[in-house]
Amino acid sequence: AQTVTQSQPEMSVQEAETVTLSCTYDTSESDYYLFWYKQPPSRQMILVIRQEAYKQQNATENRFSVNFQKAAKSFSLKISDSQLGDAAMYFCAYRITQGDMRFGAGTRLTVKP
Amino acid sequence: NAGVTQTPKFRVLKTGQSMTLLCAQDMNHEYMYWYRQDPGMGLRLIHYSVGEGTTAKGEVPDGYNVSRLKKQNFLLGLESAAPSQTSVYFCASSYSSGNGGYTFGSGTRLTVV
């Protein structure tokens, strides 16, 4: 079974600084997809960034980027220039084609003004 | 631009009561899912469907039933609610390929007393 581990239940960052959220996963598949979702207090799940395992280049979306290490099965999220609106729960997730998505337990990010 | 709509948003049940959660999507997605979210455990898959008339069990299916009579709707039923089913329930939908991620509903907070 595929599992996703987020080892940091809580993280804190000062506004305008950079923070990295960790995620590791376990799989025997070679072709899969990885995601980071943000869940603000509104409870809505928002897709932040995605990465295809076959792509060596790390995905980037504005202030959000990932460090994808396929051999190490690691998929960390870097948030640059943190803003108050970035405060939320962040979930790492894994999915294979035609499969369901498996989630980590989440990391609660606090942004200090 | 409705996306995925869940009803109701909140509900309080007494132990032993039954209820049905409705999920509707307007994106012509093949796949639909029901997850539950509990503190410290992320999102866990209850049941899913890969097409109209099909359903399958996920990680935590006990105590729940589902039906997908129409492609756009996916119903989650609790026949005899228990306090352990107190949770936030999310519906999601996707295309069959893995790279698209999910579109989530806004969640249902269910409390069983």
Taking only the tens place, the pLDDT of each residue in B73-84 is 999 999 999 999
Angstrom distance (rounded) from CA A60 to CA A77 = 10
User: Is B48's CB within 8 Å of A100's CB?
Assistant: yes
Taking only the tens place, the pLDDT of each residue in A44-58 is 999 999 999 998 899
Give the three-state DSSP class for B87: strand
Taking only the tens place, the pLDDT of each residue in B14-66 is 999 999 999 999 999 999 999 999 988 899 999 999 999 999 999 999 999 99
User: Is B106's CB within 8 Å of A96's CB?
Assistant: no
User: Is B101's CB within 8 Å of A47's CB?
Assistant: yes
Instruction: State yes or no: pLDDT of B2 exceeds 90.
Output: no
User: Is A44's CB within 8 Å of B97's CB?
Assistant: no
Q: What's the pLDDT score for residue A58?
A: 94
Least CB–CB distance from A105: residue in B41, B58, B109: B41
Instruction: State yes or no: pLDDT of B101 exceeds 80.
Output: yes
B-chain residue closest to A92, CA distance: B42
Q: What's the pLDDT score for residue A11?
A: 98
User: Is A52's CB within 8 Å of B41's CB?
Assistant: no
Q: What's the pLDDT score for residue A104?
A: 95
- Burial class for A10, CB neighbours closer than 10 Å (0-12, 13-18, 19+): exposed
B-chain residue closest to A54, CA distance: B99
Q: List B61's β-bridge partners, or say none.
A: none
Give the three-state DSSP class for A84: helix
Q: What percent of chain A has pLDDT over 70?
A: 98
B96 pLDDT tier (thresholds 50, 70, 90): confident
A-chain residue closest to B108, CA distance: A43
Q: What's the pLDDT score for residue A72?
A: 95
How far is CA A95 from each of CA A85, B84, B109, rounded to the nearest angstrom?
Answer: 27, 27, 25
Rg (CA), chain B: 13
A59 pLDDT tier (thresholds 50, 70, 90): very high
How far is CA B26 from each of CA B6, B29, B30, B73, B109, rounded to the nearest angstrom?
Answer: 12, 8, 11, 9, 23
Instruction: State yes or no: pLDDT of A65 exceeds 90.
Output: yes
